[in-house]
Structure 1
Amino acid sequence: MNYSIIYGLNKTKLPIIPVEVEGKHLCFIIDTGSTCSLIDSNVIEYFKDIATPVGDYNISGIDGTKHKVDVVTLPFSFEGQSYNPNFCVKPLLEAFKDIETESGIQVHGLLGTDFLVKNKWILDFDKLIIMTLKKCRI
């Protein structure tokens, strides 16, 4: 799969992708600097019937403070592929409010390096695409 990230970059200067959860569209930032994927707590409340609790996790904020958060799985589809990633649950909409105000795009979470590595996604900033590897040779 090759997917262009030009639209998100042009609108927000961020690699944003749309995913689908039970016929609803959500937007996620691809964040290579985040070790765990994050999702807004309101989104999980909305999809509580299909979100599966996994446990909890301690995340560190950019300022070094640690926060204990719940971890859930929430299945989604992107470009015809199904995924079932783990997400750390945290209130995020306030943090993304400026993106929505400036671009009209509401961001619901981040896909971090845990997701990218597990699913073998590669961001090619030369071609401005996301690629997935079917087979990885070392």
Structure 2
Amino acid sequence: MNFFKEEYPATKEEYQTNQMNVMKLIKESKDAFPILPKHLKTYHFKDVYEEVGYKVVKCSDNKQRKCKAIKFNFEYEGHLYSELFYINQSQSIGTSKKQISAILGVDFLKKHKWSIDLNKRVINT
């Protein structure tokens, strides 16, 4: 989840002022990706995920464990989605316990009536 972590300004007002100044600079610039002054920063993951606490859940090895609850908000093909994930860091996938992998599971696919065509490698919504 470290990929989504960003250091945000201390107050909501500072964040909003930063965002307005960034958008103004982008609109006024002739460059597709203008270089921002050091006092401005773009934020990509604000409100994408939110840590919402802990819950005891059954893990893939059928054992009950206390896991971190993460709410993941995203947009796909113009539709907004919000899904709750339970992250068990003791069973994390990867070379480091800080590296976590998660996928949208069958429950999510059923809930939103999605299907995956594995041959064509596409998601049908």
TM-score by length of 2: 0.47
Structure with higher RCO (Cα < 8 A, 6+ apart): 1
Give the structure with the higher percent strand: 1
The structure whose residues are more often helix, as a share, is 2
Quick check: which has more Rg, 1 or 2?
Answer: 2
TM-score normalised per structure 1: 0.44
